[in-house]
Amino acid sequence: MDLKQRVFLVSGGGSGLGAATVRRLVAEGVRVVIADLDVERGEALAAELGEATAFHSTDVREEAAVGAAIGIAVERYGRLDGAVCCAGIGWAEKTVGRESVHALASFRRVIEVNLLGTFNVARLAAAQMARQDPLPTGERGVIVCTASIAAYDGQMGQVAYAASKGGVVGMTLPLARDLARHAIRVMTIAPGLFETPLLAGLPEEVRSSLGREVPFPSRLGHPDEFASLVAQIARNEMLNGSVIRLDGALRMPPK
């Protein structure tokens, strides 16, 4: 896919990996709809990047909200060529603690945001792409989901988070197979430890210690490295139905 003049939706695009992806796509000539619950950050990023972007306050769990964000892409830019699912939440809670058992409500919320929200964006984006004329190469679009190495190496207290990201990994291939007849590709990135708002609140010595656990390069990943991979996936039409670990060969210990 030639990225110039293409149109993408980025959920969770107001901060972290999502914001880096928005910036990278715009730099590549893409028009982007930023879909995020954080209105302040989302609007600020759209204002900074100008006419190439639009913002819509979006809860990825809600069909109407995601549909409206896709509608903005079509109304303002004429079509939808890609969707990048970056919206997600973290959570830490042991299955059985010293004085408590894992709350079902917190497990459900993580699954709803990270897994159901990703599928909601993917299915509605794919429905729009399937209605459109194909690009000159025959492709109609690409969907990039965000998992985590926790899908494979979930640590103690990550049962909800690992389950949600494992679900994203597990649905990647069947999504790609479902959508192949519509010429829509599906890929997933499973990042390791990255410089995101989730880690930004930790003391510098803790962040440095986490970075040293990565075999090479021994540091936290930069959000633009994630964004760069999104762009590479969009360009390369043979990338389909797979999960790419972006983790510097890190394998997380039990705790």
Planar angle of CA 221, 143, 34, nearest 5 degrees:
70
- The distance of Cα 32 from the centroid of its chain, to the nearest Å, equals 14
Determine the 3-state secondary structure of 82 from DSSP. Answer: strand
Catalytic, out of 8, 161, 194, 226: 161
Residue 152 a catalytic site member: no
Question: What b-and-e string marks burial along 231-249, b requiring 16 or more CB atoms within 10 Å of the CB?
Answer: bebbeeeebbbebbbbbbe
The total of other beta-carbon atoms located within 10 Å of residue 4's CB is 8
CA distances from 22 to 12, 130, 150, 195, 255 (A): 10, 23, 24, 16, 33
**Edge-to-edge order in the sheet of strand 141-146:** 53-57, 31-36, 7-11, 82-85, 141-146, 184-191, 243-246
Specify whether the CB–CB gap between 209 and 160 falls below 8 A. no
Q: How many residues does the chain have?
A: 255
Give CA–CA dist 217/87, Å, rounded.
26
3-class DSSP state of 204 = helix
| Residues that are catalytic | 161
